[in-house]
Amino acid sequence: MRYGHFDDEHGEYVITRPDTPLPWINYLGTDAYFGIVSNTAGGYSWYQDARLRRITRYRYNNVPADAGGRYIYLRDNGSGEYWSPSWQPTRCDLDEYECRHGLSYTKIASARLGIRAQTLYFVPLGETLEVWRLRVRNERSRPADLSVFSSAEFCLWDAQDDGTNFQRNYSTGEVEVADGVIYHKTEYRERRNHFAYFACSEPLAGFDTQRDAFLGPYRGWDRPLAVERGESAQSIAHGWAPHGSHHVRLPLGPGQTREVIFLLGYWENPQDRKFDPPGSGIINKALAGPVIDRWLRSATVADGFARLQESWAAIRSVMQVSTPDNDTNRMVNIWNPYQCMVTFNMSRSVSMFESGISRGVGFRDSCQDLLGFVHMAPGLARTRILDLAATQLASGGAYHQYQPLTKRGNDTIGSGFNDDPLWLITGVAAYLKETGDTTILDELVPYADSGTSPVQLYEHLERSFRYTMDRLGPHGLPLIGRADWNDCLNLNCFSSTPGESFQTTANVTGGQAESVFIAGLFVLAAKELAGIADLRGRTDDGCRYRAEADKMAAAVTEHGWDGRWFRRAYDYYGQAVGSAENPEGQIFIEPQGMCVMSGIGLTNGMAAKALASVGERLATSHGIMLLQPAYTRYYLELGEISSYPPGYKENGSIFCHVNPWVMIAETMIGDGDAAFGYYMRINPSAREEISDVHRCEPYVYAQMIAGKDAPSHGEAKNSWLTGTAAWNFVAITQWILGIRPELDGLRIDPVLPSAWPGFTASRRFRGATYEITVRDPAHVSGRGARLLVDGRQIQGTLLPLAGAGETVQVEVILGPEHSGPGH
């Protein structure tokens, strides 16, 4: 069952009924001012940091989950009836309803009682404000006497404190109202130099700034007193809950349309120009004023929206494909890159599953997000890499997370996740492959914990490598520390106290738990680092890295192989994890994907065997499960993984982040059908038809889909912010379609599903545009391709670098036995 449909031409998902199984959300903002918005206008906004600079309020674990938002109420003053054109919060029946989620904007349109309304929500490029552009049309044959009420509830900035510290916060709230603009200025009198504003393009019939005056006692957003009575209270908030609401009278003749623009914005004044007059406590509006005036104009808004769309069109044009499969096309061309941009911007902080107050920017998460993002905005990727490297420790280890506002490592979670530093190498490698910009390696970056002078980024990579080398266990495999990629495999934790955090509780020392997964990642990273060393002319380093990679691969072959698949780990006591020896958790997905991706087992048959075991034991029609059999009880020595009921999260769900590793691995053994088959099982667009089962948005990947041990097998959770976005983009574009940036240039090496006759693609790479046509006339699918560049056959599959601005025609014919190029 579906709740809407894709509009590929406009790059939108169109939701056609408001009661989706869960709020289906979108993100606003591209740069510093961000928000989430649901298909019924729920959601909230923040500036840069969802925890420390929250602009509007969200109530955690609310019902419905997206309650509170960017609400507009329409009131028919003739009858006194009122409703929400976004359905929520009044949930009055609508004659028509449609929500269009597009790239960084959302339009919600509806009709009721002959009144049509459409609201466009977006954040203009480079601005710290959001626009709500409301258009109301009277489709009745007689005049309509309407009122419009807006509503936004302010958050007192620090979202954590706002949600907990009521004894203080009920007394601190302050606002100003001047020239129809509502200013939220809590704590501006003292140390803050920022405020929020809520402005309206039309003359006001009234306003409210105290939430409870607007709502009335014992009322929720569905029945605000001001709306019911058709009149605002002109309330000024002193403490309690600062809120913004405008009341606009909107008489409309038959057929008449009018536009009302609301702006919700954030502004920082220079410390010495906070007040006007100086020392008065009154906000100096001289700097924000012109911005507000400009964006309240219809033409500015129309132009700003056009520029946002152009910017997305430009970003999307970096890579466009046309394959025989429409679910692939729309994900690769529209939604997957968009989700990659969102995950890059948000890391794991804000969604319907992340509160914005617990996690900042994840180290390993961001390094992986880069893989799917770097081609779209290499400059931002560069900055992120340097920020991440600055949270690395002198030991080579890394803070697991940092706060985006302060860019400082988060002490609560600390470090000790032993895979973290290796991802920095893979992230930097992805940046270099895309851009060829080796100057990044010379950038001087400090370590977070030492007073010593900054060192070159290259040195950070060397320390990342050494961090693993310095921490090897009895089998020569890397020690796992708190956890590796799998946050929940906590082999040194031994927690028996309810509620204790598996990630931050002091580890038990003396054990020697090792990770086969980190070993695979190490091999991959060491090879990447060797390539980087070669680029720098450090061939000795390169040889050393390769030698260590080989040694580690040998250790995996010797101690990490279980007979039919790669083991997962050795626990504190040296017992195998992810082995046929174990009663539960016999096989894990991560080492199968990662070891094969790193090249282990490709020549001795282990890779093919491991992948066959994945197919037999872990694959379901909804995707590949993380492990089997799922743990049915709590294992003290395994940690959080066994705390989840079977089939959920790390305990045997289809953890979508790691599915693409298997897809990539399948292409490495030349099985395009297997790779693409797995791709389609979790492709959200391909799951649209089962939206009632899947339940999350059909336009973005979710972190997990319940595994076969769960009663709700097939149900997705944790949509949007997941490494799944980047890795699926890499799997489909770089490995299945085979358009793969490497340090030396762009390689074209597809491994297609055998039914495909081919595909075409356009890819901008280091300034040139490659127009690629791939044909598989003999349906050979597997590896081996002949390339013609502007009609001339080249050796191998690596394209010669074209000059900036050039357009190059590339013809690719798959299959070694084919008669020849051009036929």
**Is position 649 an interface residue for ligand GLC (rule: CB under 6 A)?**
yes
Residue 84 or 486: the one with the smaller Cβ distance to ligand GLC is 486
> What count of other Cβ atoms lies within 10 Å of the Cβ of residue 331?
26
Q: Which one of the spans 291-299, 405-413, 479-487, 733-741 is the region binding ligand GLC (CB under 6 A)?
A: 479-487
Q: Which one of the spans 39-47, 357-365, 382-390, 662-670 is the region binding ligand GLC (CB under 6 A)?
A: 357-365
Quick note: the x/- pattern for ligand GLC over 598-617, rule CB under 6 A, is --------------------
Q: Which residue is nearest to ligand GLC (CB)?
A: 487
Residue 528 or 640: the one with the smaller Cβ distance to ligand GLC is 640
Compute the least distance from the CB of residue 481 to ligand GLC, in Å.
Answer: 13
Residue 487 or 666: the one with the smaller Cβ distance to ligand GLC is 487
**Is position 365 an interface residue for ligand GLC (rule: CB under 6 A)?**
yes
Give how far Cα 290 sits from Cα of 175, 285, 298, 477, Å: 20, 9, 15, 61
Contact pick of 202, 650, 666, 811 for ligand GLC (by CB under 6 A): 650
Compute the least distance from the CB of residue 487 to ligand GLC, in Å.
Answer: 3
CB 804 within 8 A of CB 777: no
The whole-angstrom distance between residue 771's C-alpha and the CA centroid of its chain comes to: 29
Quick note: the x/- pattern for ligand GLC over 184-223, rule CB under 6 A, is ----------------------------------------
Residue 348 or 708: the one with the smaller Cβ distance to ligand GLC is 348
Residue 147 or 503: the one with the smaller Cβ distance to ligand GLC is 503
Quick note: the x/- pattern for ligand GLC over 299-338, rule CB under 6 A, is ----------------------------------------
> What count of other Cβ atoms lies within 10 Å of the Cβ of residue 239?
14
Contact pick of 35, 89, 362, 409 for ligand GLC (by CB under 6 A): 362
Instruction: State the DSSP string of 233-244.
Output: --B--BSS-EEE
Instruction: For residue 714, give the nearest of 679, 686, 682, 675 by alpha carbon.
Output: 682
**Is position 348 an interface residue for ligand GLC (rule: CB under 6 A)?**
yes
User: What b/e sequence results for 679-693 when a residue is b if at least 16 CB atoms lie within 10 Å of its CB, and e otherwise?
Assistant: bbbbbbbbbbeebeb
Compute the least distance from the CB of residue 727 to ligand GLC, in Å.
Answer: 11
Residue 274 or 364: the one with the smaller Cβ distance to ligand GLC is 364
Nearest-10 Cα torsion for 729, 734, 740, 743:
60
3-state secondary structure of 499: coil
Catalytic residue among 49, 158, 419, 487: 487
Compute the least distance from the CB of residue 594 to ligand GLC, in Å.
Answer: 12
Compute the least distance from the CB of residue 522 to ligand GLC, in Å.
Answer: 16
Residue 118 or 728: the one with the smaller Cβ distance to ligand GLC is 728
Respond yes or no: is residue 487 known to be catalytic.
yes
Quote the CA–CA distance of 144 and 76 in Å, as a whole number.
7
Contact pick of 57, 107, 364, 375 for ligand GLC (by CB under 6 A): 364
Give the helix/strand (H/E) hosting 226: helix 225-229
Compute the least distance from the CB of residue 420 to ligand GLC, in Å.
Answer: 9
Instruction: For residue 266, give the nearest of 151, 154, 377, 355 by alpha carbon.
Output: 154
Quote the CA–CA distance of 26 and 120 in Å, as a whole number.
13
Residue 156 or 352: the one with the smaller Cβ distance to ligand GLC is 352
Q: How many residues does the chain have?
A: 823
Quote the CA–CA distance of 294 and 786 in Å, as a whole number.
56
Q: Provide the strand spans (E) within 608-649.
A: 619-620, 623-624, 627-628
Compute the least distance from the CB of residue 413 to ligand GLC, in Å.
Answer: 9
Contacts 24+ apart (CB under 8 A), 307-313: 307/124, 307/125, 308/30, 308/104, 308/105, 308/122, 308/123, 308/124, 308/125, 309/102, 309/103, 309/105, 311/30, 311/125, 312/11, 312/103, 312/104, 312/338
Q: Which one of the spans 164-172, 296-304, 480-488, 609-617 is the region binding ligand GLC (CB under 6 A)?
A: 480-488
Quote the CA–CA distance of 722 and 348 in Å, as a whole number.
7
**Is position 640 an interface residue for ligand GLC (rule: CB under 6 A)?**
yes
Q: Which one of the spans 102-110, 262-270, 482-490, 518-526 is the region binding ligand GLC (CB under 6 A)?
A: 482-490
Compute the least distance from the CB of residue 702 to ligand GLC, in Å.
Answer: 11
CB 479 within 8 A of CB 522: no
Compute the least distance from the CB of residue 272 to ligand GLC, in Å.
Answer: 42
Residue 434 or 487: the one with the smaller Cβ distance to ligand GLC is 487
Q: Which one of the spans 337-345, 360-368, 401-409, 506-514 is the region binding ligand GLC (CB under 6 A)?
A: 360-368
Quote the CA–CA distance of 292 and 301 in Å, as a whole number.
11
- Cα angle, residue 397 at apex, residues 396 and 403 outer, rounded to 5°: 120
Q: Which one of the spans 78-86, 361-369, 466-474, 687-695 is the region binding ligand GLC (CB under 6 A)?
A: 361-369
Q: Say how many residues touch ligand GLC, by CB under 6 A.
A: 17
Compute the least distance from the CB of residue 320 to ligand GLC, in Å.
Answer: 29
Give the helix/strand (H/E) hosting 100: strand 96-102
**Is position 354 an interface residue for ligand GLC (rule: CB under 6 A)?**
no
Residue 246 or 364: the one with the smaller Cβ distance to ligand GLC is 364
Under 8 Å CB-to-CB from 55, ≥6 apart: which residues?
Answer: 44, 45, 46, 47, 154, 155, 196, 264, 266
Contact pick of 232, 366, 492, 703 for ligand GLC (by CB under 6 A): 703
Q: Which one of the spans 195-203, 299-307, 391-399, 484-492 is the region binding ligand GLC (CB under 6 A)?
A: 484-492
Quick note: the x/- pattern for ligand GLC over 502-521, rule CB under 6 A, is xx------------------
Residue 503 or 512: the one with the smaller Cβ distance to ligand GLC is 503
- HSE-up of 91 (CA within 13 Å, CB side)? 8
Quick note: the x/- pattern for ligand GLC over 485-504, rule CB under 6 A, is xxxx-------------xx-
Beta pairing, strands 768-775 & 807-814: parallel
Q: Which one of the spans 15-23, 124-132, 258-266, 483-491 is the region binding ligand GLC (CB under 6 A)?
A: 483-491
Give how far Cα 707 sits from Cα of 642, 643, 652, 724, Å: 14, 15, 6, 16
Quote the CA–CA distance of 520 and 480 in Å, as a whole number.
13
Count each helix (H run) and each strand (E run) in the chain, helices first.
Answer: 20, 41
Binding positions for ligand GLC, rule: CB under 6 A? 348, 362, 364-365, 485-488, 502-503, 640, 649-650, 657, 703, 722-723
| Residues labelled catalytic | 487
